[in-house]
Each structure stands twice: as C-alpha cells, then as structure tokens.
Amino acid sequence: MTTRIGIVGCAGRMGQMLMQEALDGEGVTLAGGSEWAGSKALGRDIGELLGRGPLGQPVGGEARALFAASDVIIDFTTPAATLEHAALAAEMGKPLVIGTTGLTPEQSARLDEAARRTAVVWAPNFSVGITLLMALTRRVAATLDESYDIEIVEMHHRHKVDAPSGTALGLGRAAAEGRQVALEEVWVKQRDGQTGPRQSGSIGFATLRGGDVVGDHSVLFAAEGERLELTHKASSRRVFAKGAIRAARWAAGRAAGLYDMTDVLGLSA
C-alpha cells in the first residue's frame, strides 16, 4: 500500500528535503506541498523548486486541500503554524507527523488535545540514531546515581532560533525520566557569573551556535575519577527527513494518540 504524504512548509530547507524523500522513498508518494500566504514559492512547480524538472504539481496555499489529498501530513514549520495544522488534522482525522521544536507547555497541551482525535507523531528529532541515544540516556541515567553529574552539550548552525535545541531538551527529559524526576525541577539552562558550586542532581545544558553544523549532541555523565559520554553527530538533514517519512508510513491508519519515534521504532516498551 502506497502512503500519500503531504508536506506543509514545503519550500523551507527541511520541507524540500522531505519532498525529495517522499518522491524517492519506497511505499510512499508525494501528495503535494503547501506554503504560507506570503511565500514566494506559491504556484511554483514542485519539481522545479527541487531542481528536478516539472512535475505538474504547484506549491499550494490551502492546507485544507493538501490534507484532503494526503493520507499523512508532515509538519516542520513554526509553533503557531503547527497548532493550526494540528487542529485541522484533528478535524479531518488525518495523521500528522510533527518535527517542530520550541513549543511552550501550553502549546504542547494543545497537541495533546489534537492527539485525542487523530494520530500525532511528535519528536524533537527524527534521526534513528538520536532516538537510540535518548533510549540509552534514559537507561544510563536510571543506572547511575546522583554522584554522576549530567550535562548536555549541543551545537547547531548559526541560523537556528531556539535554544537549547528541542533534541537537547528531549535528551534532558530522557535523563530526568531515568532518574524519575521532572526535568523542569532540575534543569540549568544557563550559567553566568558567580553561580556557586554545581547542585547535585541537576541536569545542565550548554548551547553552541556557528557555521553550518547540522546537529551535534552529547550527554555527559561525570563523576569522581571517570566520565561517560554518549554522542551523536548528524552530517546531513537527510537522516531527519528519512526518519520522518518512516514515521509517516507508520502513522498511516494508526489509532488516535500521541506517539514519538520510540513508538515508531518499537522501543517504547
């Protein structure tokens, strides 16, 4: 069975990568792509936008029409746009795969509401490697006691607008789950000036920005006499697109609920 995939925000870097994967992947086909009302890509042939030659599919401006033509929709846009798309997906009963980061707790709660009516796969990172890193982080954090300090270091390209990255926060949440604490109660997102000694049990974040780095993430468990480091480095956004397409195929026909990549990979148990 071929899964028809629609891409909202299709003219962005990730949007174009997702369309390439939908055109080239097995078991999927590109239903179309849409953009916001002021986008210069509106009306352009998708094939020409991707440098592949005409496909006879113009970039649309109506998300509802794209949803109607698709089995599953993929959204790597902005928090505000994602919430609109989630409401539309819930209304139309269409599965939605979300890679948008930087959502507030209130916005996340609205995704929970949409997931009561349709399948929503939401992950801060769709890389298979990152998903495994999160599972490992959870397991290691559950094994090591608080004599091991947890620090998360991430680096991205100079254009990234949110910090820490959604993936870094996801890793922090995995570590907190391993220690059976709420991340918001133990995180330290910034240090400046005379901060005093490190508080035992806290989970620290360090954010680096520069160049064209796709995404580097490390989780450090540091104790007296030894340090364990778990690291993932992405050299191409294609791994995110391939993971999202995999998630879309998995979500097609799935019951309503909020899922993530651990569910897609069968790691949630």
Which residues form the catalytic set?
A: 156, 160
Strands (DSSP E) contained in 86-237 are 96-98, 119-122, 149-156, 187-188, 203-209, 215-223, 226-234
- Name which of 255, 243, 246, 248 is nearest 124 in CA terms: 243
Q: At a CB cut-off of 8 Å and minimum separation 6, what does 24 contact? A: none
Structural contact between residues 215 and 156, judged by C-beta atoms closer than 8 angstroms: yes
SS3 call for 209 = strand
Neighbour order of strands in the sheet with 187-188: 187-188, 203-209, 149-156, 215-223, 226-234
The answer to whether 100 touches 73, Cβ cutoff 8 Å, is: no
109 phi, psi to nearest 5 deg: -65, -35
216 bridge partner residues: 155, 233
Radius of gyration of the chain (CA): 19
Which tokens hold the place of 166? 């959604």
The closest alpha carbon to 63, from 99, 87, 40, belongs to 87
